[in-house]
Chains A and B, each alone.
Chain A
Amino acid sequence: MKLSVGPNQFFWKADRWAGFYDDMAAAPVDRVVLGELVCSKRLPFYQDRIPGAIETLAAAGKKVGVTSLALITLKRERKLSAELIEAGVEVEVNDLSMLAYLPKGAPFSVGPLVNIYNEGTLAFLAGRGATSICLPPELPLEPVRVLAKAGRDLGVEIEVWGHGRVPLAISGRCYHARLHRRTKDNCQFACEDDPDGLEVSTMEQQHFLAMNGVQTLSDSFACVDHQIEMLRDAGVASLRLSPGTGDFAALCGMYRDRLDGRTAKGAIAGALEDATPGIRLSDGFLTGAAGVDWSGARAD
């Protein structure tokens, strides 16, 4: 199985951003998708570093992709999206508006924020030029199996959300701005102090969600350590690791070791729990009753 690094979902300062992709050039991953997924207002802060990052990653032998925004509404966002193809690398579609901009027949990949729940949709996108598809994180294992088979028949590689806070919703409203009693147009970049998102808990102090500007994520970090064998059996070609702070290259290494059989089931979760006692992991979308569930908890 391959490893992909998804686009960073958070607002990172330019130096942190560029340093991350220098690290990824040396990390044991096959593909890196970069660019702005969540909020077009963030892009000017690091846009000029993107060509350099693409070059560094490509020189290190990584397949590189550039993501679309998750929600394209404004005129300048439409223009930006129409110009994405000029980056010279494969575009990852995370808003179906991209289908209006991509030249007919140009190959593209599809990210986890596009609704691909069934074979009919997969076949339609394959017909339009999709070469690889990262499935929506909420899909359970059984549909993943069906879609991985359909993908194989159509020559489309199927990827599954492997690790990281799960994107759960996108909105027209910016919650970071709302938290600071500002409007989105006058947000003053309230999200920049939360490089992994801002934790949202209930009135009874239950850890629950994380806010990231217009995006809402899970509080827990998805981790498919316990499902790797099932996913491989299902025909899944690749796992997606979603960027976070900390030693992300080391995290990539843990997944690589696990995929290559150098470590056993539970090794990744165990290492994460040792490094960060109390870390909250989840894999419930794949095999649990609810997304937040964690199979490791039941095994204890």
Chain B
Amino acid sequence: MVMEIVCPAGTPASLRAAVKAGAHTVYCGFADETNARNFPGLNFERDEMREGVAFAHDHGSKVLVAINTFPRAGGEEMWHRAIADAESAGADAVILADLGLLAHAAQHHPNLRRHLSVQAAAANADVINFYADAFGVRRVVLPRVLSVPEIAAINAETEVETEVFVFGGLCVMAEGRCSLSSYATGKSPNMNGVCSPASHVDYHEDHGDLSAKLGGYTIHKVGAGQPAPYPTLCKGCFQAGEATGHLFEDPVSLNAEALIPQLAKAGVTALKIEGRQRSRSYVAQVVRNFRAAVDAQAAGLPMPEGMLASLTEGQATTAGAYKKTWR
């Protein structure tokens, strides 16, 4: 079986580019706080979603709609409407994280396939099976805290399909359970669909040093002429005890392309690429490369090597928690 490539689309143009590049499946969200990539200029209006789904279906691809933030108390209606609109747009599944929303979807949209978002941080077979029993969840996006052997063990204990991240941004913390951003800025992934938002970023020059600040906190400090990375909170340079450095994580992104054979062997159904905020040319290139890799894998051919080097140039990559020593 060919592993399914699940690609991000922040815009209708990216969706079309991903589909044309060979994406089996595209995921996207509505242009509001119901999805975890609620960035200005991104995401889909209702009519764009209908057209995007039709385009994908015409080309034999599927569309998943991420409704994966946690509905606001007193405002759940917006999230309920998003599910109804995803269904009427013809989406192949919705990606949900919130218990109440899962219950609502299972009750009111029983025929709409439900996937469990990484934001639910379901990290063992027992809780995954609970989501399947309680809400009919058919697929889980695994949190990025698990090693490949642990993923294999989960697949041995559940009928729920698993989907894992293989490329792009990397959360160090269990997703959906992190309030670092709202502590520093008031804006959180769970409530607002944003992390370390650009609205709270400030670059500041002092005595030749450049500080990248988030909510007033210095996340990176570099000498003159050096590039200052975007101040994503958990990838900053800090001090503790006698140590100074990237105490939580280096400014790296995830690249697990080399692990595709092991992930296939571990029983993983789908490989997910992060990056709804990325350009359509980036998305198309990543899709083409991963599609070539899974096709080679299914045919028993060797993996194409170093295919994504140009996309991660200048930035270090990691296989993250998939290798146990990362912890």
Task: Enumerate chain A interface residues (CB-CB to B < 8 A).
Answer: 70-73, 75, 77-78, 82, 95-97, 99-101, 113, 115, 117-125, 136-139, 142-143, 146-147, 150, 166, 168-175, 177-179, 183-185, 198-206, 208-209, 211, 216, 218, 284-285, 288-292
Contact = CB atoms under 8 A, between A and B. Distances in A.
A172 B146 contact: yes
Contacts of B134: 99
A112 B130 CA distance: 21
Contacts, number: 220
B82 to A, nearest CB: 14
Contact of B126 (A101, A120, A202): A101
Interface string B78-99: 0000000000000000000111
Interface size class of B (residues with CB under 8 A): 35 or more
A73 B124 contact: yes
B221 A290 contact: no
A139 B218 CA distance: 25
A187 to B, nearest CB: 9
B290 interface: no
Contacts of A121: 70, 98-101
Contacts of B144: 172
Instruction: Return the 4 tightest CB-CB contacts between A and B, nearest first.
Output: A120-B100, A172-B145, A121-B100, A291-B183
B130 A99 contact: yes
B172 A173 contact: yes
Contact of A72 (B123, B185, B239): B123
Give the secondary structure class of A's interface. Answer: mixed
B174 A172 contact: yes
Nearest to B69: A117
B177 A138 contact: no
Nearest to B222: A203
Given A113-B177, A120-B99, 9 more contacts: A73-B150, A115-B176, A117-B191, A118-B70, A123-B100, A124-B99, A172-B327, A202-B217, A206-B216
A138 B123 contact: no
A120 B130 contact: no
A143 B129 contact: no
Nearest to A82: B126
23 contacts: A72-B127, A78-B126, A99-B134, A117-B73, A118-B76, A119-B74, A120-B98, A120-B103, A136-B190, A142-B74, A169-B178, A171-B145, A177-B327, A178-B247, A179-B240, A183-B327, A200-B247, A203-B211, A203-B239, A204-B211, A208-B217, A284-B183, A290-B183
